[in-house]
Structure 1
Amino acid sequence: MLDVLLQPFQYAFMVRGVLAAILVGVVCAVVGTFVVLRGMAFFGDALAHTILPGLAVGYLVGGGSREALFWWALGTAVLSAVSIGTLSRKLHLKEDTAIGIIFAGMFALGVALISSVRSYSVDLAHFLFGDILAVRASDLARSAIFGGTVLLLLYAFYKEFAVLSFDPILAATLRLPVHLLDLLLVILIAVAIVVSLQTVGVALMVAMLVTPAATASLLTRRLPLIMLWAAVIAAFSGVIGLYFSYYFNIASGAAIVLTCTLIFILVSFMRAVREKLIRVSVA
């Protein structure tokens, strides 16, 4: 059993992969708590897909450099997040309408760029479905810097984000800068998505934002504990998912997300059984 647990770590890429999975899991889970509280799952999914043209342009400009891909993806994600907020406020559109417009337009642009130059479509497939085992030390360091910044800002504005998530009317009454806080939150979501790209990819990104936080919300109702449990669940899913990927030769991103989903199903089942037992005992 010990050999099974330790064997993957004889490879440096597995060590980096595990560290990346834990880091990305924690960042996405904490940010995802606010995504779940505010019903922004569609926003997270759409934002993940809007970075596709940034990846394509970054590849063309940087010749495949991961640094160029990261910066262009980050710029595109932030631009898309700001554009959604601007369309919603300035044109008085519903937020889901603005999300749909930006999502469809940016994703179509990305598909057009990729389909026009077939030579790099295969390379970008790693970013669609994740390739955590290809994480380099420089990628890990960059993820740590940006992921740490996201967590620090969430900690600094925790009270403001909590009030805004639970009671927007109270936030306005307290004269909090609601629009600025909304903008900051969507930018933090955008950064978290770009940081997580190589781990689970664009296609599965929303699962890491939503599933751990949703699972944690079934275990407790206190916001700090939801964040803590979500981070633990996401990090655990990342590590176990990598073991499955290593031993069963399946895509790492898919393995991580499937592990996370199985934990959600298990917790949901246990909660349903517990509630039924409580009802029976009361009756």
Structure 2
Amino acid sequence: MDMMNVKKWFPFVKALDYGHPCKLFCFHHAGGSAAIFKNWKTWERNLAVFPIELPGKSTRIKEQYMTNYHDVIPQIAEAIHQVTSQTRIYFYGHSMGAILAFKTACLLEEKYKKKVNLLIVAGRHAPQDDFPDDYQTTMDDSELIQELKRVGGTPNELLENEEVLQYILPIVKNDYRLNESFDYQDELFHGPILAHCGTNDPDALACNVKNWQVVTTNTFHLKEFSGSHFFPYENKQDYYKELEQSCQENTCHMSY
């Protein structure tokens, strides 16, 4: 993968960030894009934030979307491998992004012998637990709209605008197709995992999220935050500061 294609995966990253010794790679939720992490770029202090953009999303809207983990994970892993020489690597994944982050971290370990120093997963049950989404992509668009209302995070005025819906629903549905392609292959991650959950998340309460401890051979910690499924963005800069602190603590107490 040449550098021009590598940089497509990281559309909001500045040139100087590629040389930063500590990088936080961020994987978005279903229906999101790399832009959800743009505020984090303005708040970064001791890390370089690398929001990941999937083909077919936002800045890459003209590209073919990939609806299968087996296709997209190797490309993400290769792009990250290309920009992480002599780098401490941190992963953050929210909801669908938690699985993308987990799968990518495992592949980096297996194929590139590269360590992810801390995997932070938020708002998603553990990979080995089978909790199907209420919405499946075989259902009507009306069911998808109800699902978006249920989990929150999308303003009602957008969900009631037919023109907007014609644009966003196919994009969101592609993310759900990608999520449905996930199959757990008994992977184990060998670095530490930090799991976050919202106190009012209907799909990923602490009792569901705690099972991430089963998929690491290293340390595991769980922390609850006030909020819904989208608690990371509801807590804004306070949440990002918490992430930076967790990564700094990991640097000071290396266990991997």
More helix per residue: 1
**Fold match by TM threshold 0.5:** no
TM-score (norm 1): 0.27
Which of the two has higher C-alpha Rg?
Answer: 1
TM-score (norm 2): 0.29
